Amino acid sequence: MISIIEAQKRYYANHGWSQVYCLFPANSTHDLGNKNQDLGKNFGNILLINDYTILPGFGYDMHPHQNLEQVFFIIEGELTHQDSLKNTLVLKKGSVQRITAGSGYARSNHNKTKLPARYIGVWLLPKAQNQHPEHDVKEYDPQLWNGAFYPIVSDQPVRQSIPGYPAISFNAAATLYRVTVGPSELAFSVPEGHKALLYVIEGNIVCNGSQMETGAHARISGEEQLQLRSDTKGECLFVLMRTEI
């Protein structure tokens, strides 16, 4: 079954210095209330997908997390990251950051440039609780997912990875892909016992005959053959989850 949720049904928070679009009822950081019953409280083991834009000179101060798998995709601009593991680094466009919050982890991120920064955060339930906190960052060439589902983060070995651009390992029963959809039809088989979510980051696509614009997402439950195409170009995030875990 495929359910398409239009972009305007996302939660939206405007803090002046930041704009956040939320695909799920917000956490304690962005408690917007359950204003849209269509979205549900979670989907599979995804707890949160937020699409952030941070203005220059602003950001989120140090704040704690626990027992979450967090993945951040830098879409535009740069962010300066600091955390309780003594890491300080600059996340650039194309960077992917994986965090195992585990038994306790704190982080901050600020836009210290003169241009807005856009990034997407995904939070998932971990397979095991109270793990040792971990942090990993890799940079990827967007050409890797041009016309292909390219695995970026996974708890499973993935054969599609190109040498030099391996998938980042993490502690959730899922694989996160990036994909650029073009005029040529692109297929993906969602196996039985899985759920999947497809989010349009930029542009537009057609998913099994249904038009999806920027900010729209599809929720797929159970075995399904996806057929994607775009009249121009569609940049997407795709999350495939095992439901038996």
* Per-residue H/E/C for 206-231: EECCEEECCCCEEEEECCEEEEEECC
Instruction: Report yes or no: 218 and 4 within 8 Å, Cβ to Cβ.
Output: yes
Domain regions of the chain by residue span: 2-242
What does the pLDDT read at residue 36? 46
Q: Report d(CA 29, CA 11) in Å as an integer.
A: 13
Q: Which residues contact 138 (CB under 8 A, 6 or more apart)?
A: 95, 96, 165, 166, 168
Q: Residue 32 pLDDT more than 70? A: no
- Confidence band of 14 (pLDDT split at 50, 70, 90): very high
Scanning the structure block, which residue is given the tokens 């890491």? 87
Instruction: Report yes or no: 81 and 106 within 8 Å, Cβ to Cβ.
Output: no
Distance of CA 228 to the CA centre of its chain: 19
Q: Residue 34 pLDDT more than 50? A: no
Summarize pLDDT for 159-212 with one digit per residue, the tens: 665 767 889 999 999 999 999 999 999 999 999 999 999 999 999 999 999 999
Scanning the structure block, which residue is given the tokens 């600091």? 82
Burial class (CB in 10 A: 0-12, 13-18, 19+), 25: buried
Give me the sign of the Cα torsion angle 222, 226, 232, 235. positive
Scanning the structure block, which residue is given the tokens 């054969």? 159
Q: Report d(CA 62, CA 78) in Å as an integer.
A: 18
Q: Residue 151 pLDDT more than 90? A: yes
Question: Phi/psi class of residue 21: alpha, beta or left (left: φ > 0; alpha: ψ in -120 to 50)?
Answer: beta
Q: Report d(CA 11, CA 111) in Å as an integer.
A: 23
Summarize pLDDT for 62-81 with one digit per residue, the tens: 999 999 999 999 999 999 99
Other CB atoms within a 10 A radius of the CB of residue 92 amount to 13
Instruction: Report yes or no: 224 and 197 within 8 Å, Cβ to Cβ.
Output: no
Instruction: Report yes or no: 75 and 81 within 8 Å, Cβ to Cβ.
Output: no
Other CB atoms within a 10 A radius of the CB of residue 11 amount to 19
The residue-averaged pLDDT of 104-114 equals 97
The residue-averaged pLDDT of 223-236 equals 96
Among 192, 199, 204, which Cα is nearest to 230's?
204
Distance of CA 155 to the CA centre of its chain: 15
Is CATH 3.40.630.30 the classification given to domain 2-242?
no
